[in-house]
Structure 1
Amino acid sequence: MFLTRFRVNTARAGARRLLSSPQLLHGAVMASFADPLPSDPVSAGPSTPSGPSAPGGAAPRVLWRIDHNSRAEVLLHLVSPRRPDLTHLVEEAGWPTTGGWQTFDYGAFLTGLAAGSTWAFRLTANPVHSIRRTPDEPTKRTAHLTQRHQAGWLLKQQERAGFTVVEKAPERRLLPEGDEHELVVHRQRGLSFGKNDRLAAGRHTVTLVTATYDGRLRVTDPDALRRTLTAGLGKAKAYGCGLMTLSPVRG
């Protein structure tokens, strides 16, 4: 597995075009590999590399996320079973003569994850749930829209995903309810963009809600967490959701 970081030059028209559409950025990400790699059904290829299975039977796959750290710093993070070549992205949305990308061997880090260790994390996800208004009605996938429900969605995933979000000490909680964890939910976005539908031979609109999570977690099941980090968490992975990254806790 490989972890790649690419800084986007937002002053360029090509970068703004890609950032405006997860569908276009998904295509650019998948073009980083000479051979097909597993992604969501929108572009899954016939070839699936071997690897450890993930929750739900998934295997390691291509995951990506855009981090808007500031107006001047927009980063593309990419996790993949094979090393990517982002030359085309540098030419369209980077600095062709002075900039590039950094790719790291992710395997040693994943192997070193240990139960009980604590990490800072970031995740952009598509927090959804299934509802029905009457017992006879089919279930419908619906997005969580409030910070409280979006946080609750992540807390429901944690046991299966191999971690637990660290709880705050009682004296550090600012609210009587809903502030029990080292977790911040921010950058909630409603996205709507066009997608070519090969089955319907036409174009339709994709609508989804995303939220970014920052917090601290404690590893409870290293194998499950490794699968989460390489196969993603939640829905809409082709559109920049599901990639969780870890970093050392500071302070």
Structure 2
Amino acid sequence: MPVTLTRITVNRGHPLARADLANRPGLHKTLMRLLARPTGPTPRKNGGLLFRLEPGLDPVLLVQTADTPDLTGLPPGYGATDTRDLTPMLTALTPGLPVRYRITAAPTCYRPTGAPPDPVTGRRPRGKVTTLQDADALAWWQRQATTVGLHLTGSTEHCRRPFPSPKRPAPFYKLTQFDGTATITDPQALVTALRAGIGKGKAYGAGLLTLAPA
């Protein structure tokens, strides 16, 4: 199955684009228009839609889809686009290959709430989803990286990525960006993670892992 990455240089002068930059749910709704054939009860997952906002004077959206995106779904003037096929990159991943990575993720864990066990099963509730920060967030990424086939090398830079949502309460997902270098240990697991995304909050701009030669 092909995978494509579309780079959208956002036009801040466009009213919808300007609103989307401040509203995660609205941005997700706009980017869902890129799916050529949204299907099933989980169209985002089925269409392989993942995205990340690269902030700056000229904000850039990186949008990954499981097929060639329908760029006519974006309103005219929303931004300049460039799409490329990631399949050659995915097939070139080999054990020991050094790479640079970037991911904006939503590090979370389940913490007990003190609720009593279920009277039928005897199991305790899973707990409350809690955002991880600082050293806990970094430890979360280190565990995730190992699981998806990356051996982290050197230090990992990480910083919080605020993403306000003034039109409605923000979701509990707080985004953290991780940058660093790694070597590949399991190409198959890594390709699966690249396609599916990592962690929670994928509809809010989390989970997209990108690689570049180190």
TM-score range, shorter chain: 0.7 to 0.9
Q: Report if aligned partners of 2:109, 2:130 keep a CA contact under 8 Å in 1.
A: yes
Q: Deviations over 1:72-114 (max 9, x none)?
A: x2111111111112234362522xxxxx311111111101001
Partner AA of 2:13 in structure 1: A
Report 1:83-98 matches (<5 A): 83-89=68-74, 91-94=76-79
After TM superposition, the structure 1 stretch with the greater mean CA deviation from structure 2, 122-131 or 73-82, is: 73-82
Q: For residues 184 and 67 of structure 1, what CA distance do their matches in structure 2 show?
A: 15
Partner AA of 1:118 in structure 2: P
Partner residue in 1 for 2:53: 66
Partner residue in 2 for 1:233: 198
Q: Report if aligned partners of 1:37, 1:47 keep a CA contact under 8 Å in 2.
A: no
Q: For residues 66 and 9 of structure 2, what CA distance do their matches in structure 1 show?
A: 21
Partner residue in 2 for 1:219: 184
Cα displacement (A) at 1:159: 2.0
Cα displacement (A) at 1:117: 0.7
Pairing 1:141–2:146 present = no
Partner residue in 1 for 2:27: 25
Cα displacement (A) at 1:33: 2.2
Q: Report if aligned partners of 2:160, 2:177 keep a CA contact under 8 Å in 1.
A: yes
Change (3 A) 1:16 1:132: same
Change (3 A) 1:116 1:237: same
Partner residue in 2 for 1:79: 64
Partner residue in 2 for 1:187: 160
Q: Report if aligned partners of 2:22, 2:163 keep a CA contact under 8 Å in 1.
A: no
Q: For residues 67 and 43 of structure 2, what CA distance do their matches in structure 1 show?
A: 14
Q: For residues 30 and 188 of structure 1, what CA distance do their matches in structure 2 show?
A: 22
Report 1:1-251 matches (<5 A): 1-36=3-38, 44-45=42-43, 48=46, 61-68=48-55, 70-71=56-57, 73-89=58-74, 91-94=76-79, 100-134=80-114, 136=116, 138=125, 139-144=127-132, 146-166=133-153, 168=154, 182-189=155-162, 191-192=164-165, 206-249=171-214
Count of aligned positions: 204
Q: Deviations over 1:29-80 (max 9, x none)?
A: 1111232157xx7xx23994xxxxxxxxxxx721111111x22x21111111
Partner AA of 2:12 in structure 1: T
- TM-score, with normalisation over the residues of structure 2? 0.85
RMSD between superposed Cα atoms in Å:
2.4
Cα displacement (A) at 1:190: 6.2
Change (3 A) 1:46 1:165: closer
Partner residue in 2 for 1:172: none
- TM-score, with normalisation over the residues of structure 1? 0.73
Q: Report if aligned partners of 1:192, 1:207 keep a CA contact under 8 Å in 2.
A: no
Change (3 A) 1:126 1:193: farther
Q: Deviations over 1:131-182 (max 9, x none)?
A: 11537363111001x321111110111221111211x3xxxxxxxxxxxxx2
Change (3 A) 1:210 1:37: farther
Which consecutive residues of structure 1, in runs of 5 or more, have no partner in the other structure?
49-59, 95-99, 169-181, 196-203
Q: For residues 17 and 52 of structure 2, what CA distance do their matches in structure 1 show?
A: 15
Which consecutive residues of structure 2, in runs of 5 or more, have no partner in the other structure?
117-123
Cα displacement (A) at 1:194: 6.0
**Secondary structure of the corresponding residue to residue 162 of structure 2:** strand
Q: For residues 125 and 108 of structure 1, what CA distance do their matches in structure 2 show?
A: 25
